Structure 1
Amino acid sequence: MRRQHAFTPSLLALAISGALGGPALAQPPIEDAPLLTEDTVLVQGKAYRHTATKSALAPEKTPQGISVVDRETLDQRSMDSVAEALRYVPGVHTELRGGAVGRLDLFNIRGFINYQNFYDGLPLTYNDWNLQPQIDAFALEQVDVFKGPTSVLYGAMPPGGMVNLIAKQPSNQPFHELTLSGGSHDLREGSFESRGALRDDGSLNYSLVALGRKQDGQAETSEEERYLIAPALDWHISDRTLLNLNLYYQQDPSAGIYTTLPASGLFKDNVNGRLPADIYSGDANWNTYDREVLMLGYKLNHELNDDWTLLQNLRFMDASAYQENSYGMGLGADQRTLTRRAYLTDEASRSWAIDNQLSGRLRSGALEHNLLLGVDYTRLNSDIRYEDGEIPAIDLFAPDNHLVRPGDIAFSSSYSSDFRLSTRQAGFYLQDQVRLDRLVLIAGGRYDRYQGKEQGRKYGARADNMVEQDKFSFRVGALYELPGGFSPFVSYAEGFEPITGQDRHGKTFDPTTSQQWEAGVKYQSADRRHQGTLSAFHITKQNEPTRDPNGSPYDKTQAGEVQAKGLELEAKSYLTDNLSLAASLTLMDMAFSKDESGELLGKTPVWVPERQASLWANYDLFEGALAGTALGVGVRYVGKTQMDTLNTDQVPAYTLVDLALGYDLGYLNADWDGARLQLSASNLFDKRYYSCFDDSNCWFGAERELKASLSYRF
């Protein structure tokens, strides 16, 4: 099927434009939107809620930063993971543990580390150890990045923001696509996607995505393997009632490596030379990460009348992960011998998450209120086993990755752990969006109750710890739509995170708290071809645990405070029907503003670059000999980061180039209509770059990766 990709705003584009700053008018409800174009995929059904407001109404202006990566962008740039999808988003720093570690999507937003994503509005429950569900990018329709504290809507979250992964949804529009891929590291991948109506009246629609992928890891002797299937069903019980049933199953028999390397030999001098990017400090006989995740859920959306709607979103998760790994204990005087220890973890988690929302619209004269009342609850039980023992050292400059004999490892009883972690969190929230002509106001508040409990044996000692914490959070904001497409805004938001543990006096820690002030302007042209957001933010986080100066090196106190100030710019423009540009810029200033020990005062946390910038250009050819060709080129810059918490050295900055080339084979031969060839290159010039936590724990960035895909739509 030959398609011209001239700019035509789809429903998805309209939703995104509203979140990023639309024209000075309200969009019609999704149900009343124009008919879809041939290539448009409807992903916002009646159960869809916009991440920044949890609203099913047409996108309103949001007085807080939000970025959206849609499916078209994911496909254009051949992004296989959430971390890759966030590479070009302002305020987000990805690949904190380098390119060889792909078993988790670890990143920070506005300087604050995020360990937990949301999937279709519900948390991917994480047990704070090694069992973290990871959604494959192929199963996603879009990725929302909601900036700043988001606790009013989502409870316990880091103050930098949160990521909500939107799943592919059923549709009554038939779509089927098969894709085969190959590439670097002996990549072999096959994927299939299908959706359509099961009944002629459109009352029963389905969606199905499935994928299998296997390749060698970047590090020597390592492998990566994944299989997933994610079906979903929409049942329109009546004109006012929709039931969505969804399942996500993923198995990762192998997930690369998780070991680190010393900075010496990477970007710091070493008398033995430089280490290669595929170096592995672990052992092939003791490197396993086998993860299995099953999630079952439903969404029930019922319109009580024309103004009020009830949504219940529920998901059950059953997951497990078994790991055999090693870690370095320090580089020898010869700067080549690394002392190591082995460890294993065996983890299993079960969780429930539910979010009940009642939303409605009230009118009072010239005022229109969009009210939201919600109650959510999350429950997690996780069984965790940990063992630790000595293994032979390794020569990094003449590595033998087959030194370990698993049966010979003597595990230490002082590190042995076998305990259960149980957490409960309940939240009650209320939000009101008020519109008065061109003025949009938003205010919301939330009360959370958190309980965490550990029982069993932890690091050789009996563990019986209970933490109970509660917190009230609120946010307010205002946005005004000026003529010409500019919309200045200002907002204040609060957040919190539960903290387990206690100080040396036995006092249980309080939850960390945070506040953000943000102001900026959003722009969108009347024809929706040009849009952008410029925002300045100031985040303060209190009760950050730091070392107790009067205790042992392991004692903590909550006298720490961190401040992050920054400027973000995001712009997208269709300069012509052929050429589109997407640019971003981030300037950050982050440091400890309080620290009782005095060691961290004025210091910048690790993994926080002062500057980041990116530019992506797409050019489509519709005529001539090369008609059907789409070329994309991206450049991303990440500035220097601190090598350790004391800021004794810096990790070098880097600039990477990415390339994507697509061709619609239907232009070459009408019999091949529906077939498409896609070539992509990440880190095209194979630039060496790094990430560090301290001098002994560093990682290589991702090497150049080439990928070729052949897809067929029918």
Structure 2
Amino acid sequence: MSHHLPSKPTLLAILVSVLCAPPLYAADNTAADNSADQSAATSDETVEVLGQTYRNTATKTKLTPEETPQAISVVDSETLEQRGVSSVSEALRYVPGVNTELRGGAVSRLDLFNIRGFDNYQNSYDGLLLQYNGWNLQPQIDPIAIEQVEVFKGPTSVLYGSMPPGGMVNLIAKAPRHEAITDVSVATGTGNLKETTLDSSGELGNPDVTYRLVGLARQKDGQANTSEQERYVFAPSVDWQVTDKTLVNVNLYYQKDPAMGIYTTVPASGSVYSNAHGDMSADTFLGDKNWNHYDKDVTLVGYKINHEFGNGWAFLQNARLFDGSAYQRNTYNAALNSDGRTVNRNAYMTDEESHGIVVDNQLSGLVTLGQWQHNLLLGVDYQRLHSTVGYLDTIDYSAGSIDIFNPNNSQLDGDNLTFNYQDDEDIRQSQTGFYLQDQLRFDRLVLIAGGRFDLYRADTDSDTLYYSTASTTHSRIDQQQFTWRSGALYELGGGFSPYVSYAESFEPVAGIDKHGDAFKPSTAKQWEGGVKYLSGDGSKTATLAAFHITKENSLVTDPDNVYGAKLQTGETVSKGIELEGRWDVTDQFNLAANYTRLHMEITRDTTALQGKTPVWVPNQTASLWANYRFERGLVQGVTLGSGLRYVGEAEIDAMNTGKVPDYVLLDASVRYDLSYLNSKLKGAEAVLTATNLFDKEYYSCYDTSNCWFGAERNIEARLKYRF
């Protein structure tokens, strides 16, 4: 099997790429109105925790979510730790408008979720896109390296380029700190979990140089029979305050995943639907332990340069190199056979490598004209990805059948498999974006407007061998798009701020129509209106948002079916409401709740899909989480947390022939400060977390042949020590 491996970038190439990726990033934003003093103070405290190079995901400035005329949800580090999350998907479980773990609980090799009904395979890490090759090499960031998670709802292309219209997730990295703090932990739990973590920070012999070092080692059994999960993370970063006005940050993130569970599915019959032969269990595995392997390496090397020019002008350049590889051996299933208990299988393998660069340059300025305060943002970003993929497939179901109720997971011998299909792909993608934003404040009125122009290109060369027939193809996407957004928010008395906004997004579309004309990018637009609330003492926050998203120019089947040609006339509408709130009832007791009602429909199509709802889109979701800290008595030092998650029913397939049932799950956590037990244990803490406490069986489905069991009950006990 031959592979076309890209050459690794030389130092000269890296420097040329950086220098040619135009001017720079931006950002200080300061509230001018005295009524916003408290918000500004809160922002300053946040910046201290998140680092001087932190920018709000929704604006690329330091504007707080309460001042932003668009919905944004934030999950902070304390919440991440409290709930014991081990993936980005788990971190999003209590965020309104987000449906997580679309491929069930046993699949951990990618973070897949949808926002407002639109699937999302890509996250951003510290404001830069985690580049994804469209196959199986998706960079993941472990929560051990994350300070907080920010979910920006609705179209985000004006600031970030090609993005799904439902929104984006930005993972904020842990930043260096002056304070010398080291946290270590060990954990055990369900699935023979063995985990140790390290998080250390402080000064490197000089107050101008600070560091952060994060590390993790984890091993456990996967949910599916015979599967395993294993991960190692090493993530150091250094801040150098070169002058009073210039900060340089250098950062590294390395992750090794030698084993990541399974990727195979189960049929709906015997899981979602009853089967005369019985029911499968949530740990059912229909693959083969001799042909189930996934090994991924991801290295991210980056830097940030933050410079304050004075007079309200600032510059930030954020850049990162990406190097990754993934090797996979797996199987996939045909439809359930007529006997009602066996499925035929194909074996396949992929060998992938990716090398990329992302640079975001922003220049910002604070300009006051009369009573109007302008926060100007000018940016140019650039990204390039070169990926090679080698794919082999038996395609004739020679991998044999398996009994879904009594699976034999040791049938395959890799040396005796015959691969009748081979595809070697060489993929090159690049995108350059130019954007401008003005954020205005006049007394209590906040306005925002921005526009962006993108140039996108992708070239794919494919060498295919089908049995003895060889072919070579080349395809190109060469598209450009302008997007814009605007919004207004007014700070009423009593902490209420109504807002309205309009935003656009785009996604490139490959191919040509039957006339030979290249397709245009698929575009989307959203109208959103709502109200935000922040009490005077900051103890209560809430956001109510109503939205209407229309996505156009999706590909549909040509009714004339001319050589399998496609038309670009598809349209999908997503509309709904989201409610999110938090209340610190007392210093000891707080509540967080959210609710989403969503209606999604394909409104234009040439086939029977018109009027249907896509899969993986529940009609309602809701959650409630409560914390209580005991300060007296024998339980002094204990913090109890408990949460309920509700996910409504969804369609089982594209034709809407049935439903995936709704479900309610209970999660819980207990934290105990051990210094209350013995003063010599100061800095030590015991944490017990449980998800799906009652071990509720639930499902997610793409169609009736491809379903996944949800995550089983998971219990984790952790001992932490800070010094």
Q: Give the TM-score taking structure 1 as reference length.
A: 0.94
Aligned to 2:79: 73
1:23·1:526 contact (CA, 8 Å) conserved in 2?
Answer: no
1:416-565 to structure 2, matched below 5 A, reads: 416-458=422-464, 460=466, 461-551=471-561, 555-565=565-575
| Secondary structure of 2:530's aligned partner | strand
1:338·1:395 contact (CA, 8 Å) conserved in 2?
Answer: yes
- Compute the displacement of 1:47 (Å): 1.2
Would you say 1:686 and 2:691 are equivalent positions?
no
Aligned to 2:356: 351
| Secondary structure of 2:162's aligned partner | coil
RMSD, aligned α-carbons: 1.8
| Secondary structure of 1:199's aligned partner | strand
62-71 or 498-507, which deviates more: 498-507
- Compute the displacement of 1:456 (Å): 3.1
In 2, distance between residues paired with 1:436 and 1:326? 60
1:148 to 151, 154, 162: 154
1:97·1:699 contact (CA, 8 Å) conserved in 2?
Answer: yes
Distance 1:323 1:32, change over 3 A: closer
Aligned to 1:395: 403
Aligned to 1:636: 645
- Compute the displacement of 1:41 (Å): 9.6
- Compute the displacement of 1:30 (Å): 7.0
- Compute the displacement of 1:502 (Å): 3.0
1:239-278 to structure 2, matched below 5 A, reads: 239-278=244-283
- Compute the displacement of 1:306 (Å): 3.3
Listed one character per residue, the Cα deviations across residues 269-297 of structure 1 (whole Å, up to 9, x for unaligned) are 21111001100010000001000000100
Would you say 1:669 and 2:678 are equivalent positions?
yes
In 2, distance between residues paired with 1:596 and 1:455? 30
Aligned to 1:197: 203
Distance 1:638 1:23, change over 3 A: farther
Listed one character per residue, the Cα deviations across residues 179-205 of structure 1 (whole Å, up to 9, x for unaligned) are 0000001110000110011134x2000
Q: Which amino acid aligns with 1:495?
A: S
2:43·2:64 contact (CA, 8 Å) conserved in 1?
Answer: no
In 2, distance between residues paired with 1:478 and 1:41? 24
- Compute the displacement of 1:542 (Å): 0.1
1:219·1:256 contact (CA, 8 Å) conserved in 2?
Answer: yes
Q: Which amino acid aligns with 1:400?
A: N
Distance 1:42 1:623, change over 3 A: farther
2:65·2:72 contact (CA, 8 Å) conserved in 1?
Answer: no
1:23·1:525 contact (CA, 8 Å) conserved in 2?
Answer: no
2:586 to 576, 583, 591: 576
| Secondary structure of 1:247's aligned partner | strand
Aligned to 1:25: 36
2:71·2:545 contact (CA, 8 Å) conserved in 1?
Answer: yes
Q: Which amino acid aligns with 2:438?
A: D
Aligned to 2:13: none
Would you say 1:323 and 2:328 are equivalent positions?
yes
384-393 or 459-468, which deviates more: 459-468
In 1, distance between residues paired with 2:418 and 2:218? 35
Aligned to 1:171: 177
- Compute the displacement of 1:547 (Å): 2.4
Aligned to 2:53: 47
| Secondary structure of 2:415's aligned partner | helix
Q: Which amino acid aligns with 1:667?
A: Y
2:231 to 207, 216, 226: 226
- Compute the displacement of 1:503 (Å): 3.4
Would you say 1:611 and 2:651 are equivalent positions?
no
Would you say 1:117 and 2:123 are equivalent positions?
yes
In 2, distance between residues paired with 1:553 and 1:129? 26
1:242·1:302 contact (CA, 8 Å) conserved in 2?
Answer: yes
Aligned to 1:408: 416
Q: Which amino acid aligns with 2:663?
A: Y
In 1, distance between residues paired with 2:376 and 2:47? 29
Give aligned pairs, total.
686
In 1, distance between residues paired with 2:289 and 2:437? 53
1:311 to 284, 307, 316: 316
Aligned to 1:378: 383
502-511 or 643-652, which deviates more: 502-511
Would you say 1:697 and 2:706 are equivalent positions?
yes
1:223·1:256 contact (CA, 8 Å) conserved in 2?
Answer: yes
2:432·2:455 contact (CA, 8 Å) conserved in 1?
Answer: yes
- Compute the displacement of 1:58 (Å): 6.5
In 2, distance between residues paired with 1:32 and 1:65? 17
- Compute the displacement of 1:24 (Å): 4.7
2:372 to 364, 367, 389: 367
Q: Give the TM-score taking structure 2 as reference length.
A: 0.93
In 2, distance between residues paired with 1:60 and 1:699? 38
1:23·1:485 contact (CA, 8 Å) conserved in 2?
Answer: no
In 1, distance between residues paired with 2:231 and 2:609? 41
Calculate percent identity across the aligned residue pairs. 54
Aligned to 2:4: none
In 2, distance between residues paired with 1:286 and 1:619? 47
| Secondary structure of 2:484's aligned partner | strand
- Compute the displacement of 1:557 (Å): 2.2
In 1, distance between residues paired with 2:100 and 2:665? 13
Distance 1:31 1:161, change over 3 A: closer
In 1, distance between residues paired with 2:589 and 2:464? 58
Aligned to 1:96: 102
Aligned to 1:216: 221
1:184 to 171, 181, 190: 190
Distance 1:524 1:388, change over 3 A: same
Distance 1:60 1:227, change over 3 A: same
In 2, distance between residues paired with 1:58 and 1:163? 17
1:646 to 651, 655, 668: 655
